[in-house]
Amino acid sequence: MPHLYVEYTDNLAGLPGQQLLTELNAFVCGHPSILDEADVKARLLPVSQFEIGSAPANRGFVHVQLRLLAGRTDTAKKELSEGIAAVLRRLTPQPAGMMVQLSVEIADMDKPSYYKGRL
């Protein structure tokens, strides 16, 4: 933990995927609520099969989910959400004639049931 998932529709031509992942990861790792940067695991997940509403043509999305062990303050979660959204707005292209939705979700993980080990 934390786990950072970046999902995006693969019809977003020009999305700088690796740069987006790197900048989001750096932002999360640098936030004061993250105690050990080595705990952050980030991944980029292109979505090739998707539907957006009833007319998916010319529509796309980038959705970021950050899963954290429960216990962070609402203020910390809001800071994380707003910072992630700022990176998304800056790096996500808007192809002509296309509607692109950006979303961020900060989710708590249940401490008693979460397992993490190192080898």
CATH number at residue 9: 3.30.429.10
- Residue 17 domain boundaries: 1-107
Question: 30 or 57: which carries more pLDDT confidence?
Answer: 30
Residue corresponding to tokens 């790792």: 29
Residue 115 lies in a domain: no
The pLDDT, as a whole number, for residue 117 is: 84
- Dist CA 31 CA 37 (whole Å): 9
Contact 93, 19 (CB under 8 A): no
Residue 116 lies in a domain: no
Residue 112 lies in a domain: no
Residue 86 lies in a domain: yes
- The C-alpha angle 23, 16, 52, rounded to 5 degrees, equals 105
| Number of domains within the chain | 1
Kindly state the average pLDDT of the residues 15-19. 96
The pTM of the full predicted model, rounded to 2 decimals, is 0.92
